Chain A
Amino acid sequence: MTAENIHHPEPSYLEYRGKYKGLLGWLTTTDHKRIGLMYMYAMMVFFIVGVILGELMRLELFRPGQQFYGPQVYNGLFTLHGIIMIFTVVIPGLAAVFGNFAMPIMIGAKDVAFPRLNLFSWYLFILGAAIALSSQFMGDGPPDTGWTFYAPYSVTTHTNVIAAVLGAFVLGFSSILTGLNFIVTIHRLRAPGMTFFKMPLFPWAVYATAWIQVLATPIVGITLLMIIAERTLRIGFFDPNLGGDPVLYQHLFWIYSHPAVYIMILPAMGVVTEIIPTFSQRRVFGYKAIALSSMAIAFVGYFVWAHHMFTSGMSSTARWIFSLLTFLVAVPSAIKVFNWVTTMYKGSIDVKPPFLYSLGFIFLFMIGGLTGLSLGSLATNIHVHDTAYVVAHFHYIVFGGVGFAFFAALHYWYPKMYGRMYNFKLANIAFVFLFAGFNLLYFPQFIIGLMGMPRRYFDYLPQFTFGMQLSFYGGILLAIGLVLMLYNLFQKNGAKAPANPWGGSTLEWTIPSPPPVENFDVMPEMGPDEEPYDYK
């Protein structure tokens, strides 16, 4: 920094006035930091809607039999809950928010490779979400197929499936363009001297994620187009009455939707990989293993999709191959967990909120991952397929994993985003509510699933009542935790954040909080013997 810059600091990206002021200034921005925040605000709204839908389901399930509304409403609720949470919250998720906000800074870039395309992706995201939500109000009622749109029911139901499917298609297009943008950004805009193996691990995770977005999403795109054509033109690819094959739909759908799980979880793992070393005051253990395991997960994750279909009708050869490959994905995932734990070993651990949420992530992700193995093995899968056990498993991955990592990332980069600290004590209290509520909500679902409670059922046998009520109370605790956490972060009246409040060692901590519009006064460079985590 030159003396002149200290006296006349660049305006931060939050204060910067371009061509337009206020809201319009945000809606026309091409600044990756602002776009990241815009994703976050939109997703926050969708997330809250999704949570309310989930709580409404728990309310209905408090007792067996009908309580507040009928089965068709319930079908609509779980479909919309799934569509919102999957397509508009966890799939764009950490990649869209923190991939945008932090990744370019961490590689020493001023922005992403295609800033205008980046803004366009955001608009596509909003458009797709709007189309998907419009399905609730137009046509013959809310779709009732579940978020998976399984044929032939999605072709024959009279509800407004087309809008939901079209919305998902547009959201997919947005996701592809974001992935494309990030790949080119990482290839072209790394700081001089920063080779791939000198890049921090969050950008590595975003890079692996971006490849899955680019490689997997087109398949679901064409599949959703086929569903639309089935409904409008009767092309019949998935309709057995015309010679089509419904199982083919499941294959095409999961060819995307399994890798989509890694679109969600890889950036989550990436952010935890940044947080654990920072708060242990140690260098991350096994840098290369973590970087390459991201790529390995992305690669192997592409070949496991049929584990969702073990009961759908497949040759036994296909089943054991997919089962074996599913087990293989656990290896790179476990490599990461071992590396995180080893990083903490003998470290000087400082349990601040980001670290606490990361620990929550590791714990919940491990339960989710290990129960995933029992679903991936053929014999146990037959027993628990389509039961509440599956519901518990994927909520442990998607909410316990991705959700908690998102909260961790938020508490980690919050001072950088807004230039303010938040109340640590309140953040910790919120964590206790979230963690306890989460486990109380979903753990009983494992048990009642093993006892035979099917998923997506409006009604249930009396022996499941106790488990369902525990889940209900868990849901209440979880909601309290969310309210506390959001209340804490919305205050924005904490102490002014220094440039590097946590002692972090990546580039974003070398610039002021909040960052100036162009991120760096002097573009960073890396010397030949500098290492990735040297910025302190």
Chain B
Amino acid sequence: MEEHRDDIGARLGMWIFIFTEILLFGGLFLVYAVMRAGYSADFHQAAHHLNAFIGAVNTLVLLVSSATVAMSITAVQKGDSKKGVILLLVTLVCAGIFLVNKYFEWGHKIHIGLYPGSDLMLTLNHGSVMFFSLYFFMTGLHMLHLVIGAIVLTIAMVKVKSGAITPNKYVLLENGGLYWHLVDLIWIFLFPLLYLIT
């Protein structure tokens, strides 16, 4: 069978997949909304325990990474694969910075005994338990998506370098970039919901 290629179809598929991912998180946002309505005072208190500064830094890091991914696609389209690789590398470094920040953030909380199912957690009021449960579950699931996105972009980078992704065949990179924007977008919602609304 001859190889059938349909970039528009591949892109359409990716958009639908992204849609399902948004719905996946949508279920969590629904839980957040219900819990926030039920325990607004507790949520208000608990949110003070998150470090808004680290959250803001991570937001900035992800926004930059989204920009560099978009730029790398443009570079590849224009045939400048070297620039494309460098920009993808910057994106991956941003992903690394995000994860390191998250490591310190989570690490600190776990260090003081604040994690789902911990003894400390069980002494807190119900609203705080829900808040921190949501915090760990939502940011954890987001991190998982970030890692998957980074793996996809790494593959794309290798392919740009090896010449398998070219100015007229770059749909894998483009779809990887779309996925990366999704990772960014979800964080854009998580950041204010968890860190800023206090």
Contact = CB atoms under 8 A, between A and B. Distances in A.
Interface of A: 110-111, 113-114, 176, 180-181, 183-184, 187-189, 214-215, 217-219, 221-223, 225-226, 229, 233-237, 242-245, 248, 252, 255, 517-518
Interface stretch (B73-81, B126-134, B160-168): B126-134
Contacts of A244: 130
A184 B12 contact: yes
A222 B27 contact: yes
B31 A243 contact: no
Given A234-B117, A237-B31, A243-B130, A218 B21 contact: yes
B103 interface: no
Contacts of B137: 226, 229, 235
B6 A236 contact: no
B84 to A, nearest CB: 25
Contact of B130 (A188, A237, A255): A237
Nearest to B117: A234
A252 B32 CA distance: 13
A252 B34 CA distance: 12
Nearest to A247: B34
B58 to A, nearest CB: 22
B116 A235 contact: yes
B30 interface: yes
Contacts of B31: 226, 237, 248, 252
A243 B126 contact: yes
A214 B4 contact: no
Contact of B26 (A218, A233, A235): A218
B104 interface: no
Interface string B20-53: 1101111110110011001100000000000000
6 A-B pairs with least C-beta separation? A243-B126, A234-B117, A222-B27, A218-B23, A235-B133, A218-B24
A214 B10 CA distance: 16
B9 A245 contact: no
Contacts of A181: 13
Contacts of A110: 1, 4
B133 A237 contact: yes
A222 B30 CA distance: 11
A180 B13 contact: yes
A359 B24 CA distance: 39
Given A180-B16, A219-B23, A234 B126 contact: no
A248 B9 contact: no
A113 B129 contact: no
Contact of B39 (A218, A235, A237, A243): A243
Contact of A233 (B16, B19, B117): B117
